[in-house]
Structure 1
Amino acid sequence: MNALRFSCRQLQQSGRATSKAITGVVSFSAYCRNRTSPPALSSASPDSLASRVWRSGHPSISIVEVIEQWLDEAKQVKQSELQQLIRDLRRHRRQHQALQLSEWMRDQSCYNDSPGDIAVRLDLISKVRGSEQAEQAFKAIPENMRNFQVYGALLNCYSRKKCVEKAEATMDKMRELNFLKAPLPYNVMLTLYFHTNNHEKLDALVKDMEENGIACGIYTYNIQLNAYGATCRFQEMEELLGKLERDTVVTVDWHSYFVGASAYLKAGEKEKAVAVMKKLEGLVTHNSKKFCYEVLITLYANAGDLEQVCRIWDLYKQMGKIFNSGYLCMISSLLKLDEIAEAEKVWEEWLLKKRLYDIRIANQMVIGYSRKGLWRKAEALVSQITENGGNPDGVTWNCLAVGYCVGGKMDDAVAALKEAVTVKMPVGHKLKPETRTMAACIEHLKSQGEIEAAEEFLEKVAENCHFPVAALNRLAGYLKDESQNVLPLDEMGADMPTLGDEETAQEP
């Protein structure tokens, strides 16, 4: 039965079909991808189920009530519509609602749960509830439903959690079941080996692909390029790039050149990096302009070339529409080049032209000021955020705390950092406080005799933030050690706030 009709709603009310409230998700789209691209949000009709979901408010809000209200009005919804909506929710990072919808659909007697649906749900469970819950969910799946997609979702779960042994065991099982006929599972393992620095295993797996006649696609080649660049194997990287350029089946893409240029810059080989960047620019197409120009701006900033940064920015602006991500990229690059005055000009331009207030851009300016100890400017900008249509988030206060700390305003630094830890972050995101600033604030509290307040603060950090456990333990030990009056800040790490991971963009 393809549509959920009113009769199915009556079954629900009589108890023969159930709905369960759930918690959150995203997807393993590579294994479960539908060939039809998801529609733009604006394509939803004024009164469609999709439009009601998008208007339902914060992504953490349950959409089960939205669906049930739709059914109460005796309206229909096809399974294909629900599957499309799940894809759209995942694409727009509304993970909780996507999982709610997936599990609700599973619990309806009117729908057939396909292996593809199961694979998507398994991946979502792993991202929301963890790998152990995903394992339990996998064990409950009937053997006859555990196809390539389902095992692929489990493999991806282990890869994401960097569980090498479990991923290898899953890969062996897929080999036993004759599921290794495509490059995708190999690419998942190659990515895992790259991120866990198992470069010998990575090379061996590439050889295994070749021996088994598994064609390498551009993704496989790019993983290899990343591995060669990370280990400074430049000759092999150059040979692979040359092979790609000569390949008549696989077409080299801008990402391949980005990897090569980044590796050269990291090694201090600026001339070689610039040569590769020129090749990257030669691959810019109408559809790739936005991404390529943003990448080139970042690369030239890393190369210390302000002139080229401005040249690419001019090309970017010729597209007609400047995205928030473009402003973010340009401001970040100018700050990296110590061009604060130029960054301020771009910031003012964005304030005049913005459609949606993107707190990431404001945060980039705040941390730019803060790293220079310009806490007054940082403070003034934070006070203007609300006036300009935004809301300071945890990252904002974290960045401001850095400025206060650099400027020696330790009471204010402590207050700002406490605010950062207290402010609620988007669902699925946690603040990453800057380690040295955290250490300096704890040292200051101890010097003021506020040991209890410092300990309570560390408890909140442990509960609400992503913060190294070793660093937390060291700070806690420092508070208890009466003989230690000065904390060796240089040993606490020199990281700076990471802008982007903690927050969800409001516009591309």
Structure 2
Amino acid sequence: MTKVFGIDAAERYFQGIPPMSRGSEVFTALLHSYAAAKLTERAENLFERIEESNVTFNALTYNEMMTLYISVGQLEKVPSVIEELKRRNVSLDLFTYNLWIIACAGVLDIDSVRKILEEMKHDSNSKDGWVTYRHLADVYITLGNLANPAHNSLVEADKKITQRELITYDFLIILFTGLGSKERIDHVWKSLKLRSQKLTSRSYIGILSSYLILGKVNEAGEILDEWTKLSNSDFDARTCHRLLDEFGVVGLKEKAGLLQGTSVLQN
């Protein structure tokens, strides 16, 4: 109804649904519509009703709210959503952790990022993909210079994208690596490259790590070759060697060795 008749029509339909029939899926569908349209005030009002209701919700509902806050740049509001989620004993999923990490990384709160990764490690609901995600995220924040102000100032006004937004792209690549989805990684990387903003070493480190973890050596080699040939890049072979060392630290030494013999890293 939102797509065909608009959000106002969807709201009227929602109000016409008997209260006893408004399950979590109904609330979440309307919240998703608000989030997609970036209608923060309406979304917050609905979220208050969700908090006051006796309906059982899963992580998807809270993910919608966090996605909205990230999309409108209100990263400081994400922790409050996490607090409410935990207060209601809702289990976090991989997307929840990813959004939470994006928000903390976006304000350069690296200590919180590491605490989140540690929480993931001890989450009884964690799955195999989460291990991959944690490994890659740990490599990323170690090598990505996130805490270095020289690498994280806002870009020029005419570039239309800030380092916070770039971090969001980078962590989406990490998320889809954890989920094992090369197709989605390719899509995010393609979208990132279409931006006028110069890509940082952090972005190249992220995509290289993702392809290596998924065993896509040829693709990793192509990215490495592309990085070295860009005239405006900040490529540094020492950074790549550090990347390989970090892979060994987190138990992925074998995969790191796949790029060790490339001509770029031997020179």
The code of the aligned residue for 2:146 comes to: A
Q: TM-score with structure 1 length normalisation?
A: 0.31
Structure with higher Rg: it is: 1
CA separation of 1:290/1:178 partners in 2, compared to 1, >3 Å: closer, same or farther? same
Does the 8 Å CA contact 2:104/2:110 hold for their aligned counterparts? yes
Deviations 1:96-123 (Å, cap 9, x if unpaired)?
xxxxxxxxxxxxxxxxxxxxxxxxxxxx
The answer to whether structure 1 residue 154 and structure 2 residue 30 are counterparts is: yes
CA separation of 1:338/1:250 partners in 2, compared to 1, >3 Å: closer, same or farther? same
Q: TM-score with structure 2 length normalisation?
A: 0.53
The equivalences for 1:476-495 within 5 A come to none
The equivalences for 1:443-454 within 5 A come to none
Deviations 1:112-170 (Å, cap 9, x if unpaired)?
xxxxxxxxxxxxx3245432232234345455543321221101111111212211221
Residue 316 of structure 1 corresponds to 216
Does the 8 Å CA contact 1:222/1:259 hold for their aligned counterparts? no
Does the 8 Å CA contact 2:110/2:147 hold for their aligned counterparts? no
Give, in whole Å, the separation in 2 of the partners of 1:158 and 1:165: 9
Give, in whole Å, the separation in 1 of the partners of 2:131 and 2:87: 25
Residue 267 of structure 1 corresponds to 146
Does the 8 Å CA contact 1:151/1:174 hold for their aligned counterparts? yes
CA separation of 1:158/1:258 partners in 2, compared to 1, >3 Å: closer, same or farther? farther
Question: What secondary structure sits across from 2:144 in the alignment?
Answer: helix
Alignment counterpart, residue 226 of structure 1, candidates 102, 106, 120: 102
Give, in whole Å, the separation in 2 of the partners of 1:247 and 1:147: 27
Greater RCO, CA 8 A, separation 6+: 2
The equivalences for 1:91-106 within 5 A come to none
Unaligned runs of 5+ in 1: 1-124, 270-276, 319-325, 340-508
The code of the aligned residue for 1:201 comes to: K
The equivalences for 1:9-408 within 5 A come to 125-143=1-19, 145-251=21-127, 252-255=130-133, 261=140, 265=144, 267=146, 288=180, 290-291=182-183, 294=186, 302-303=200-201, 316=216, 334=226, 337-338=229-230
* Greater fraction helix: 2
1:179 positional shift = 1.8
Identity over the aligned pairs, expressed in percent?
20
CA separation of 1:302/1:291 partners in 2, compared to 1, >3 Å: closer, same or farther? farther
Deviations 1:275-310 (Å, cap 9, x if unpaired)?
xx9xx99x979x8273598589989x742879x96x
Does the 8 Å CA contact 1:289/1:316 hold for their aligned counterparts? no
Give, in whole Å, the separation in 1 of the partners of 2:48 and 2:34: 13
